[in-house]
Structure 1
Amino acid sequence: MKKDISVEELKMIQLKILDSIDDFCKKNGIQYFLFSGTLIGAVRHKGYIPWDDDVDICMKRKDYDRFFSEFNQQRRDTLKAISAEIEKNYYLASGKVIDTATVIEEENNCAMPIGVYVDIFPMDNLPADDKKLEKLNHRIDIYRKMLILKSVPVSDRRSAVKNWILKVSSFLLKPISMQHIIRKITKLAVSYNDDATCNRIADISVFTYGMKEVFPCEDFAEAAELEFEGKTYSVPKNYKHVLSNMYGDYMKLPPKEKQISHHHFTAYWK
C-alpha cells in the first residue's frame, strides 16, 4: 500500500534536497540562485509562499553543466540529479534533483519515475539585438511546444477540442523522441553563450514567463544571501530587479482565489 507524503513532509524533503545542493555547490565552486516563486518566498515570507509546494533554483549554463556531470559521483544518500543528458526517458529541458526514496506521480506522458524534487533551470546568454532575440525565441518555441504536446496527456479536466489536439499531436510527433527535441532546444539555447557582446540572460530553454524573465547579465553577476525556512541560501544580488521584472509588485499578495498551488501530482514513499 502506498504511503502518501503530506505537504509538510514534502517540504521537509525539498529542503533536505536544497541543503544538499547548497552544500555541494559551496564545496565545488558552483553558483546557484533561488529563483521564481522560491525567490519571492525568500523575500516576502522568509520561506515558502504559504500556498506553494515546490522549490526552484537556477544556474548559469556553465555551472549547470558542471553540477549535472558531478553531483551524482560518489553519493551515499538517496538523492540523484536527473536531466536529459543523464536519463534518456527524461522529458524536460531543465533538470531536477530527486529523492529516490520517494515517488511522484505527475500528469504527463513520461514513463520515467521520479521522486520529490527541486527544479534547476539553466540560464543562457542572449543577444543584445532584439531582432536576433526574437528569432532565437521563435525557433526554440517551436520545440518547446513540441515537448509540451508530447508530454501533456489527455484529461477529463480539458475540453474535447484540447484533447483532440493532444491526440492528433501525439500521433504526428510519435516518431520524434523527447531526447531529440531537448537536444534541439539546448543547442539553440547555448548558441550565444560564447558571444562577448551579449548583455542579457534568461532560462530560455523553458521560458515560462516569456520576455518577463529576460534580465541584464549584471542581475546574475553576483550573489547575495537571503533567509528561507530558517537558513540562508544564494540569491541574485539584484533580486529586487529580477522579481519586479518577472512579477511587477512582487510584495503584493495575489487575490485569494489565486492563492493556490498550480502543480498536479501525488507524492508517496516507496
Structure 2
Amino acid sequence: MNSRLIADIKGRLPISSRSLRGFRAQDDARYAQLLQVIDDQQKALGKAQESIDRLEKQCRGLNETLEYVHDSNSVMYWQLFRGDHETTEQAQLRFFRGLPKAEGIHALFQDAEARLFELFDQFCRDHEISYWGTGGTVLGAFRQRDFIPWDDDIDVYITREQLSRLEKAVREDGRFRVTVVWDWYVPCKQIRFRSTDEANPCFVDLFPLDWVSGDPEDAWRVCTQERVQYVQEIRRQYASSSWSRDIYISGADPLIPALESDLHAHLEDLAARVSILPTADGATGLVRGIENIDEVRPSGPYLTGDWTGSTTLPFRGIAVPVPSNYREYLSKAYGDYMALPRDMHSHEHVADDYIASPEAVQAMRRMLSDDGERTPDYEERK
C-alpha cells in the first residue's frame, strides 16, 4: 500500500483523542493570547484617554488665560481709545464706523447690493409686506449703519405667509424675481430676491420663519431637532444623486419636485408636534424654517412681542425693521458683537470671479445708474 493511499485513509478516519487534546490546547493558548492583547489595548486606551483628559484640562486653562488676557487688553484698549465725555460703547461705535470701506469690485458689489436692498424695501412697503433684517445685516446696521466692510450680502427674515405674498407680487410686477437654489454643502434651500437681469449677481437672502403658539422655547427646540433629522435624511437619500455631484441645483432640475415634496413632508411632521400658525393671530413666537442654513450660534427662541413692533435701524439710509430686542438677538447670534470677528480677513460670500465678470460689472453699473446718480469710478478705489 503506497504512502498516498495511507495518507488518504488516515485523513478520513476520526481524529484521535490525543490530537483533539492538542487542538484544544492550541485553541486555549490562542484564546489566552487574544485576551492578553485585548487587555493590553484596553490599558493603552485608558492611558490615551488620561492623556486626552489632561490635554483638555490644559487647553481649558490656556483658553481661560487667553480670554482673560484678551478681555483685559480689550478693556485697556477701549479705555485708551475712548474720548472725553464718551462711553465705551460710543468709542466702539466710532471705531467700527471709522473702519476702511470695501474697495474695488467689492465696493461696487456692496453699492449694487445696497441699491437692490433699497428697491426690495420699497417694494415691500408698497405691497404692505413685512420683513426683518437678520444676521450680518442687523449687526452692520447697528455698528456701521452700513455693510460690515468684509461682508457682502443682505440677510432678511420673512414669514412663510409674507413670502408667498412677495412671490405673487413679484410675478405680477415683472421687475424682480424670487429664485430658489438647493445647496448640497449645507444643505439648505436658498431663496433670493433678485433683479430680472440675469447678469446681475446681486441678491437679498430670504430666510423663512414660521409662527407658532404655545411655549416658544419648546417650539424652537423641536424645530431644531426636526432640522437635524431633515438634513440627515436628505443626506442619505441623495448621497448618490446628481445633486451631491453638482452641489447647486435649481430651475427645471428633475430632483426639485422630490426635494420640495420631502420638505413638505417634514413640515407636516413638524406641524404634528408644534402648533404652527399661518399668520400672527394667536402666535406666541417665531421659529426658523427647517430649510434655512444653520446658525453658528442659536439666536432663538423668538418671542412675538419682540418681533411685532416698529423698531428700525438705519442701513445706508434704509430704515431696516429689526426685533425690538435686537441687542439680545445680537448677543445670542454673535456673543460679544462689539469684538472684531475672526473671519474679517477670510470671509467671502460671493466669489470674485462671479462678481468681477464684465457682464456682472455692467449689470451692477446699470442698476446703480437707474437711481439718477453718476456711477462711481470703482477702479480708483482699489
TM-score normalized by structure 1?
0.70
Question: Cα deviations across residues 122-177 of structure 1 (Å, max 9, x unaligned)?
Answer: 1113451756654443233222345578556589xxxxxxxxxxxxxxxxxx8983
Q: Which of 281, 284, 287 does residue 202 from structure 1 map onto?
A: 287
Q: For 1:211 and 1:94, locate their aligned partners in 2 and report how far apart those are by CA, in whole Å.
A: 19
Greater relative contact order (Cα 8 A, min sep 6): structure 1 or 2? 1
Q: Which structure has the bigger radius of gyration?
A: 2
- Residue 262 and residue 217 in structure 1: after superposition, are their counterparts in 2 closer, same or farther (change >3 A)? farther
Could you tell me which amino acid in structure 1 is paired with residue 326 of structure 2? Y
| Residue 45 of structure 1, CA deviation | 0.8
Percentage of matched positions with identical amino acids: 19
Is structure 2 residue 163 aligned with structure 1 residue 64? yes
Q: Distance in 2 between matches of 1:198 and 1:177?
A: 31
In structure 2, the residue matched to 1:41 is 140
d(CA) in 1 for partners of 2:121, 2:173? 17
Instruction: State the partner residue of 2:258.
Output: 177
Describe the shift of the 1:25–1:188 C-alpha distance in structure 2 as closer, same or farther (beyond 3 A): farther
The residue number in structure 2 matching 1:107 is none
Is the counterpart of residue 263 in structure 1 residue 349 in structure 2?
A: yes
Q: Is the 8 A contact 2:154 2:205 kept in 1?
A: yes
User: C-alpha displacement at 1:9, in angstroms?
Assistant: 2.4
Please give the per-residue CA displacement for 1:23-56, whole angstroms capped at 9, x wherever unaligned: 1111121111111111100001111011001110
Change (3 A) 1:248 1:21: same
Letter in 2 for 1:81: V
Q: 1:53 to 1:60 in 2, by over 3 A?
A: same
Q: Structure 2 matches for 1:79-158, cutoff 5 A? A: 79-83=176-180, 92-103=188-199, 115-126=201-212, 127-128=214-215, 133-146=220-233, 153=245
Query: Whose strand fraction is larger, Structure 1's or Structure 2's?
Result: 1
Say whether the 8 Å CA contact 1:68–1:82 is kept in structure 2: no
Describe the SS at the equivalent of 1:263: coil
Pair 1:39–1:132, CA change in 2 (3 A): closer
* CA separation of 1:72 and 1:20: change in aligned 2, threshold 3 A: farther
Shift of 1:252: 1.9
Structure 2 vs 1, CA of residues 6 and 223 (structure 1 numbering), >3 Å: closer, same or farther?
same
Structure 2: which 5+ runs fail to align?
Answer: 1-103, 248-254, 361-382
What is the distance in 2 between the residues matched to 1:24 and 1:189? 32
User: Deviation of residue 244 (structure 1)?
Assistant: 1.6
CA-based RMSD of the aligned residues comes to 3.3
* Higher share in helix: 2
Kindly provide the amino acid, as one letter, of the partner of residue 204 in structure 1.
G
Deviation at 1:189, TM superposition (A): 5.9
Q: What's the secondary structure of 1:6's corresponding residue?
A: helix
Q: Which runs of 5+ in 1 are unaligned?
A: 84-88, 105-114, 156-173
Flag the 1:146–1:201 CA change in 2: closer, same or farther, 3 A: same
